[in-house]
Amino acid sequence: MSTGKGKKRIKNTPVLYDEIKKQRGINLTDTAWEILARQAKTEKISVSELIERYARTLNQPNCP
């Protein structure tokens, strides 16, 4: 999937998806955050995008 790099960003205009992201809040342990941050760095994406991609896999038809 594209990371959207090189695309001009316009406020309140979606780049990667057909809807804009909204700010949310979650509580995580330091350990969980470090794991997510490390994985996001490996994939060269933000933690937000890592969570977004994971959540979208849960919406697949063959997902339990």
d(CA 8, CA 33): 29
Residue 55 structural domain: 27-64
Q: Flag whether 18 is in a domain.
A: no
Q: Evaluate if residue 13 carries a pLDDT over 90.
A: no
Q: Flag whether 7 is in a domain.
A: no
Q: Flag whether 60 is in a domain.
A: yes
Q: How many domains does the chain have?
A: 1
Q: Using the Cα atoms of residue 20, residue 30, residue 41 and residue 50 in order, give the sign of their dihedral.
A: negative
Q: Look up the pTM and report it.
A: 0.68
pLDDT confidence of 12, banded at 50, 70, 90? low
Q: Chain-wide mean pLDDT for the chain?
A: 83
The arithmetic mean of pLDDT across residues 36-48, rounded, is 96
